[in-house]
Amino acid sequence: MAGGEDRVKINWSEYDPGQIWDELLGAPGKPRPHARQLTKYLSSLSSSQLSRRQEAAERAILEMGITFTVYSEGQNIDRAWPFDIIPRIMSATEWRGIQAGLKQRLTALNMFIDDVYNEQRIIRDGRFPRELLETSGNFLKECIGAKPVHGVWAHICGSDLVRDSDGTVYVLEDNLRVPSGVSYMLENRIVTKQVFPELFAHSRILPVDDYPSLLFDTLASLSPRPLDYPEVVVLTPGIYNSAYFEHAYLAQAMGAELVEGGDLLVADDDCVYMRTIGGLERVDVIYRRINDTYMDPEAFRPDSTLGVPGLMRAWRAGNVAIANAPGSGVADDKLVYAYVPDIIRYYLDQEPLLPNVPTYSCVDPEQRRYVLEHLAELVVKPVNESGGYGMLIGPTGSREDLEKFARLVKREPRNYVAQPVLSLSTAPTLVRGRLEPRHIDLRPFSLQGDRSAVTAGGLTRVALVKGSLVVNSSQGGGSKDTWVIETGED
Amino acid sequence: MLSRVAERMYWGARYLERAENIARLVRVYDATLLDLPDDAGVGWPLLVDICGSREAFQARYPVGDSRETLRFLIADADSPSSIMASLAQARENFRTTRDLCPTEAWRSVNELYLYGRKALPRMSSRQRHEVLSGIVQRVQQLTGLLSGTMSHGDAYSFIRLGRNLERADMTTRIIDTAAATLLRSGTAQATLENTLWMAVLKSLSGYQMYRQYVRRRIRDEDVIRFLLNDDLFPRAIAHCLLELESGMARLPNHEGPLRAALRLQRMVDAQQPEAVEETALRTMMDTLQLELARVHAQISDAWFLPERAG
């Protein structure tokens, strides 16, 4: 074929990230050292070859049935997972620093959770305000005095990382309740290997596919019975949950049962059993993917049909482990977030390795005044939401939005925090056969049980709309494979 | 194994088998109609009766001509007994149990569903044979994939139960179709019987096996005996029952279902049709269908109904 399209090659000197930090290029035509091999390879492909690979990836995603569920117009729609074939790359040297920072952070957060439900030393020592704890919707009094094994409450953490225009990587959020996305990280790698097999043969890309076995080991280490093969189950709200694909994926990859609330029961001996074809079988560890307050209608919402009556009783009696433990969410309240650097210093006597984004607490009168005066420059977030819902991005907000949030902040200051707008780094993304910069973030997954581990990279989410900073898949975001590469150069 | 999951494996396999069998049923009927003289007087709506869904059909299609019948049986995703609905149900059951099946199996079920969704609604009558054969072939591949890559443990036992129960049921329905066709056409057609039973055998991929094992020309009572009593032919009812029994015997708490299956086995063994009369044949098939439903009820009682709390 000698079509004009076919001869168009990628010209990296036309790719201009502007003032924003780009993950692959330092400037037009200047790839970063860890990205050189990829950019060189991509410029050997024509625009139509690239488009064909994108189509192949989309076909693979459809055939592999990689979906996420969107609830829209009263119907659940299973959508194919939006994916961009151009990988996002980080150097192994930088990654090792981030990994250490994430481990440090999760260790300290777990010490914090264990402390606030037990001795409350941090409060007595005046390093964390008692009112903050008592007004947190995620602080569950049902958990006071509980002692999970290893002193660990949050066993699985999905942190959101972003990079500002000066190259600094910040932790934007710690998701400690039911973080999702790891199955897409794994599937993205499988698809990318099909699309660019050549690159995997010649680069030292760190593998990610050991995650399910690390997760299983972490969960198994929590078992109350000392067995070689404890019964580990994944508890899902069911097929209508947006992350059901992931629940099934992880259960399958770990060889664990995927259960719904109705499959489990708590018997008179305060142990958890599942209903099987051979009768009742004891359950040791529950990896729960339903929210705290839906877990046990006896302890929390009596109207919940997703949970298991008596589950909290069994957990408090130490007869079953629950990951993440009920009440872990107290540490990912966005107001607590502002204190994480202090929390690290308090429990570990170390300086935080990863910086926090400066956060204004609207409870504090002075900080609130600053927030209200600078609304148009700030991002305002509800403390207790995730998924990018219910927030204000000041610079792009309409006058009505700004007025609405000013009212909200004044009425319920405990419910809002504000942060400066970060620029979010970009990465080249395929748009109609051309590569254009699009904003991205990164969600690595950390595990803590008897040992701890962090994924090599994580899930890179990309805002497919030009200029947009919203990367959530429920709101028009896509994803990319994330490569951590050993280059020996940097 | 979870009761809820066992039930989904069982139904996943049943719906897959059902999709294949409806495709076979339409294919044989299609072929027979082509071979029969115009005045043989058989019509498409008979198929709806065979599938036991006349009420649902009349509610959705008041005209009830051949085009509508085919739509109802093939592409109409809202019809309870169409190929498309069966594929969608099979997919849903495998989707919700994907943690138990080999990944390739889920992918094949998904591909099969996508194939059906693309090919079934817009095929012309000329393409019908090819597309229906495509469905049969893909289900066969999947059956082979499951048998060759999935551990033959409890989950696989439930797949075997679902598959063989559905298969036995459809063989009774296909025999029933043939008997009803003969009844409708009257006894005047001497050549009709041969053509029809040959088509029945072919629809069940049983023509060659019949030739090899029965070693006789096509005669109605021989064909029926082959499809009813042959222990070796995989789509013969006796063989399906043997498969059911061996699948059940591997599972815990199998007393109830196994007893029901053995009872049915004895009943089938007792039927050794000599001179077959169509009305009696239809009654016999009705009885077998009721007994198969009873076996299903036993399976459900023993394994799917969750135990009471405490």
| CATH number for A364 | 3.30.1490.270
In a domain, A249, yes or no: yes
Token duo for residue B91: 């997919």
Parallel/antiparallel/unpaired status of strands A272-276 and A264-266: antiparallel
Average pLDDT over residues B184-195: 66
> Is B106 in Cβ contact with A65 (below 8 Å)?
yes
Q: What is the dihedral of CA B30, B34, B40, B41, to 10 degrees?
A: 40
Give residue B181's Cα distance to chain centre. Answer: 18
> Is the separation of the CB atoms in A70 and A76 below 8 Å?
yes
Q: Which of B92, B106, B310 sits opposite A267 (nearest CB)?
A: B310
- Which of A319, A348, A375 is the C-terminal boundary of a domain? A319
For residue A6, is pLDDT > 60?
no
**pLDDT, tens digit (0-9, with 9 covering 90-100), for A219-261:** 999 999 988 789 999 999 987 788 888 998 899 899 899 999 9
**Angle, vertex CA B220, rays to CA B214 and CA B225, nearest 5:** 55
Question: What's the pLDDT at B159?
Answer: 97
**pLDDT, tens digit (0-9, with 9 covering 90-100), for A19-72:** 999 999 999 999 999 999 999 999 998 888 899 999 999 888 887 777 666 554
Residues 310-369 of A with CB under 8 A from B: none
In a domain, A275, yes or no: yes
3-state secondary structure of A301: coil
Contacts of A263 in chain B (CB under 8 A): 2-4, 306
Contacts of A259 in chain B (CB under 8 A): 2
Mutate to test the interface with B, among A269, A276, A283, A313 (most CBs of B within 10 A): A276
> Is B252 in Cβ contact with A275 (below 8 Å)?
no
**pLDDT, tens digit (0-9, with 9 covering 90-100), for A290-326:** 998 899 998 888 887 789 999 999 999 999 999 999 9
In a domain, A272, yes or no: yes
For residue A432, is pLDDT > 90?
no
Token duo for residue B128: 């019908």
Residue in B closest to A67 by C-alpha: B95
Q: Which amino acid is at A261?
A: G
Beta strands in chain B (DSSP E): none
Confidence label for A345 from pLDDT (cuts 50, 70 and 90): very high
For residue A476, is pLDDT > 60?
yes
Token duo for residue A24: 């692959």
CB pairs under 8 A between A and B: 71
Burial category of A119 from C-beta neighbours within 10 Å (exposed 0-12, middle 13-18, buried 19 and up):
exposed
Task: Report how far residue A124's alpha carbon sits from residue A359's, in angstroms, rounded to the nearest whole number.
Answer: 24
> Is A276 in Cβ contact with B3 (below 8 Å)?
yes
Give residue B191's Cα distance to chain centre. Answer: 27
> Is A65 in Cβ contact with B107 (below 8 Å)?
yes
> Is B2 in Cβ contact with A257 (below 8 Å)?
yes
- Which of A297, A319, A341 is the C-terminal boundary of a domain? A319
Average pLDDT over residues B292-301: 95
Tell me if chain B has a CB within 8 Å of the CB of A298: no
Average pLDDT over residues A366-378: 93
3-state secondary structure of A319: coil
**Angle, vertex CA B125, rays to CA B67 and CA B80, nearest 5:** 45
Q: Which of A64, A239, A277 sits opposite B3 (nearest CB)?
A: A277
CATH number assigned to the domain comprising residue A247: 3.40.50.11290
For residue B182, is pLDDT > 80?
no
3-state secondary structure of A185: helix
Segments forming the whole domain that contains residue A388: 360-420
CA atoms lying within 13 Å on the CB side of residue B213: 17
Average pLDDT over residues A368-392: 85
Q: Which of A63, A239, A268 sits opposite B110 (nearest CB)?
A: A63
Number of domains in chain A: 2
**DSSP letters spanning B21-49:** HHHHHHHHHHHHHHHS-GGG---THHHHH
Burial category of A267 from C-beta neighbours within 10 Å (exposed 0-12, middle 13-18, buried 19 and up):
middle
Contacts of B254 in chain A (CB under 8 A): none
> Is the separation of the CB atoms in A416 and A382 below 8 Å?
yes
Q: What is the dihedral of CA A105, A110, A111, A117, to 10 degrees?
A: 140
Confidence label for B156 from pLDDT (cuts 50, 70 and 90): very high
In a domain, A396, yes or no: yes
Query: Which CB contacts under 8 angstroms, 24+ apart, belong to A26-34?
Result: A32/A89, A33/A91, A33/A487, A33/A489, A33/A490, A34/A89, A34/A90, A34/A91, A34/A485, A34/A487, A34/A489, A34/A490
Task: Report how far residue B92's alpha carbon sits from residue B112's, in angstroms, rounded to the nearest whole number.
Answer: 12
Average pLDDT over residues B77-106: 87
Q: Which of B96, B111, B306 sits opposite A239 (nearest CB)?
A: B96
Residue in A closest to B107 by C-alpha: A64
Claim to verify: residue A368 and residue A303 sit in the same structural domain: no
User: Closest by alpha carbon to A322, among A302, A308, A301, A305?
Assistant: A308
Mutate to test the interface with A, among B1, B2, B115, B117 (most CBs of A within 10 A): B2
Longest distance between any two alpha carbons in chain B, whole Å: 67
Q: Which amino acid is at A442?
A: L
Tell me if chain B has a CB within 8 Å of the CB of A64: yes
* Cα torsion angle, A163, A153, A387, A207, sign: positive
Residue in A closest to B111 by C-alpha: A63
For residue B187, is pLDDT > 70?
no
Question: What's the pLDDT at B126?
Answer: 86
**Residue A476 DSSP symbol:** T
For residue A473, is pLDDT > 90?
no
**pLDDT, tens digit (0-9, with 9 covering 90-100), for A150-182:** 999 999 999 999 999 999 999 999 999 899 999
User: Closest by alpha carbon to A332, among A129, A146, A112?
Assistant: A112
Task: Please enumerate in sequence order all residues whose Cβ is within 8 A of that of A52, keeping only pairs 6 or more positions apart, or say none.
Answer: none
3-state secondary structure of A304: coil
Tell me if chain B has a CB within 8 Å of the CB of A56: no
Say which residue, B15 or B184, is predicted with more confidence.
B15
> Is A263 in Cβ contact with B4 (below 8 Å)?
yes
For residue B45, is pLDDT > 50?
yes
Question: What's the pLDDT at A77?
Answer: 58
| Least confident residue range of A9-13, A35-39, A479-483, B304-308 | B304-308
Q: What percent of chain B has pLDDT above 90?
A: 49
Confidence label for A449 from pLDDT (cuts 50, 70 and 90): very high
Contacts of A248 in chain B (CB under 8 A): 95-96, 98-99
> Is the separation of the CB atoms in A252 and B99 below 8 Å?
yes
Mutate to test the interface with B, among A277, A298, A311 (most CBs of B within 10 A): A277
Spell A296-323 as b/e; 16+ CB within 10 A means b.
Answer: bbebbeeebebbbbbbbbbbbeebbbbb
> Is A63 in Cβ contact with B111 (below 8 Å)?
yes
Task: Please enumerate in sequence order all residues whose Cβ is within 8 A of that of B38, keeping only pairs 6 or more positions apart, or say none.
Answer: none
> Is B154 in Cβ contact with A65 (below 8 Å)?
no
Task: Report how far residue A325's alpha carbon sits from residue B122's, in angstroms, rounded to the nearest whole number.
Answer: 52
> Is B303 in Cβ contact with A275 (below 8 Å)?
no
Task: Report how far residue A460's alpha carbon sits from residue A160's, in angstroms, rounded to the nearest whole number.
Answer: 10
- Which of A396, A420, A444 is the C-terminal boundary of a domain? A420
Question: What's the pLDDT at B34?
Answer: 63
> Is the separation of the CB atoms in A221 and A150 below 8 Å?
yes
Average pLDDT over residues A187-215: 92
Nearest chain A Cα distance for residue B20, angstroms: 21
Say which residue, A480 or B204, is predicted with more confidence.
A480
User: Closest by alpha carbon to A134, among A411, A364, A270, A335?
Assistant: A335
Tell me if chain B has a CB within 8 Å of the CB of A248: yes
Contacts of B307 in chain A (CB under 8 A): 275, 279-280
> Is the separation of the CB atoms in B22 and B28 below 8 Å?
no
For residue A327, is pLDDT > 70?
yes
Tokens 């961009």 map to which residue? A84
Task: Report how far residue A176's alpha carbon sits from residue A155's, in angstroms, rounded to the nearest whole number.
Answer: 8
Contacts of B154 in chain A (CB under 8 A): 277
Claim to verify: residue A294 and residue A231 sit in the same structural domain: yes
Beta strands in A129-284 (DSSP E): 156-163, 169-175, 232-235, 257-259, 264-266, 272-276, 279-282
Beta strands in A227-348 (DSSP E): 232-235, 257-259, 264-266, 272-276, 279-282, 285-288, 321-323
Q: What percent of chain A has pLDDT above 70?
A: 93
Confidence label for B37 from pLDDT (cuts 50, 70 and 90): low
Average pLDDT over residues A127-132: 92
Mutate to test the interface with A, among B4, B94, B99, B253 (most CBs of A within 10 A): B99
Nearest chain A Cα distance for residue B235, angstroms: 28
**Residue B304 DSSP symbol:** I
Contacts of B88 in chain A (CB under 8 A): none
Residues 80-99 of A with CB under 8 A from B: none
Task: Report how far residue A94's alpha carbon sits from residue A66's, in angstroms, rounded to the nearest whole number.
Answer: 31
CA atoms lying within 13 Å on the CB side of residue A339: 22
Cross-strand pairs, A478: A462
> Is the separation of the CB atoms in B64 and B58 below 8 Å?
yes
> Is A65 in Cβ contact with B310 (below 8 Å)?
no
Give residue B11's Cα distance to chain centre. Answer: 13
Confidence label for B168 from pLDDT (cuts 50, 70 and 90): very high
Nearest chain B Cα distance for residue A196, angstroms: 21
Angstrom CA distances, A199 to A12, A22, A67, B289, stand at: 19, 21, 26, 58
How many Å is the Cα radius of gyration of chain A? 23
Task: Please enumerate in sequence order all residues whose Cβ is within 8 A of that of A400, keeping only pairs 6 or more positions apart, or say none.
Answer: none
Number of helices (H) and strands (E) in chain B: give both, helices first.
14, 0
Tell me if chain B has a CB within 8 Å of the CB of A267: yes
Nearest chain A Cα distance for residue B54, angstroms: 30
Task: Please enumerate in sequence order all residues whose Cβ is within 8 A of that of B282, keeping only pairs 6 or more positions apart, or say none.
Answer: B176, B179, B180, B183
Average pLDDT over residues A358-375: 91
In a domain, A432, yes or no: no
Task: Report how far residue B228's alpha carbon sits from residue B238's, in angstroms, rounded to the nearest whole number.
Answer: 6
> Is A248 in Cβ contact with B98 (below 8 Å)?
yes
Question: What's the pLDDT at B199?
Answer: 83
Task: Report how far residue A190's alpha carbon sits from residue A56's, in angstroms, rounded to the nearest whole number.
Answer: 13
> Is A280 in Cβ contact with B307 (below 8 Å)?
yes
Question: What's the pLDDT at A102?
Answer: 98
In a domain, A400, yes or no: yes
Task: Please enumerate in sequence order all residues whose Cβ is within 8 A of that of B304, keeping only pairs 6 or more positions apart, or say none.
Answer: B3, B4, B6, B7, B10
Task: Report how far residue A161's alpha carbon sits from residue A173's, in angstroms, rounded to the nearest whole number.
Answer: 7
| Average pLDDT over all residues of chain B | 87
Task: Report how far residue A107's alpha carbon sits from residue A96's, in angstroms, rounded to the nearest whole number.
Answer: 17
